[in-house]
Amino acid sequence: MEKPPVPEMPILFFKPLTTVTGPGDKVLLPRGTEEIKFESELAVIIGKTAKDIQPSQADEAIFGFTVANDFGATHYFHPEGHWTIGKAFDTFCPLGPVIETEFDYRSARIQAFVNDKVKQDATMDRIITPIDVMISYISRFMTLMPGDVILTGTPAGADMVRDGDIVDCFIEGIGHLRNPVSAS
């Protein structure tokens, strides 16, 4: 499958602090929801203030990297593109297991398994918007601060999960993030 071109305006959304959870923690289905979508992703942790930077300066703003699972309740996505509500439920952003500060993100391999079956397996060159371009773009309208986390997009294969499913996300050189999905 051919990779789409880098968009002029990347799709962005906000995940509040209450979405963040850790390795092994339950990802809770919203009340009345039977399934949600997982997305294994590389997370970039910002290490210094960055405003109006160029892509060539992006690496200087990065503190480190970790594994993320960007969950979304897709039936809460607005039909005209508003994803914030569907991405903002408590527990919808597991991060971990460590922050790796010496890591070549350009060749990172992202994998995801649901109940031990492979669902995603690709390298960062399949991600539509390159990390340096993404950081530069965001810094044009928002001052990035130390501790901010940017999720970088997911490869093909993200899928729906239900109560009782276990999602394992792997990024070579960082580690393994495992979270069960639960109705309660």
By the 8 A CB rule, do 130 and 1 touch? Answer: no
Bond preceding residue 180 cis, omega within 30 of 0:
no
Q: How confident is the model at residue 83 (pLDDT cuts 50, 70, 90)?
A: confident
Could you give the percent of the chain with pLDDT greater than 90? 83
CATH number, domain with residue 83: 3.90.850.10
Q: Please check whether residue 51 lies inside any domain of the structure.
A: yes
Q: Please check whether residue 56 lies inside any domain of the structure.
A: yes
Q: Please check whether residue 20 lies inside any domain of the structure.
A: no
The pLDDT of residue 74 is above 90: yes
Mean pLDDT for 35-53 is: 98
Q: Please check whether residue 14 lies inside any domain of the structure.
A: no
Give me the domain span that covers residue 121.
Answer: 34-182
Q: How many domains is the chain built from?
A: 1
Residue with tokens 């960055």: 50
Residue with tokens 């669902």: 119
Residue with tokens 């892509």: 55
The pLDDT of residue 78 is above 90: no
State the SS3 of 67-135: EEECCECHHHCCCCCCCHHHHCCCCCEEEEEEEECCCCHHHCEEEEEECCEEEEEEEHHHCCCCHHHHH
Q: Could you give phi then psi for residue 98, rounded to 5 degrees?
A: -140, 165
Q: Which residue has the higher pLDDT, 81 or 160?
A: 160
Say how far apart CA 3 and CA 25 lie, in whole Å.
33
pLDDT of residue 4: 79
The residues near 179 (Cβ < 8 Å, ≥ 6 apart) are: 21, 23, 24, 25, 26, 27, 69, 94, 166, 167
Q: Please check whether residue 19 lies inside any domain of the structure.
A: no
Q: Please check whether residue 167 lies inside any domain of the structure.
A: yes
pLDDT of residue 27: 98
pLDDT of residue 13: 82
pLDDT of residue 52: 98
Burial class (CB in 10 A: 0-12, 13-18, 19+), 84: middle
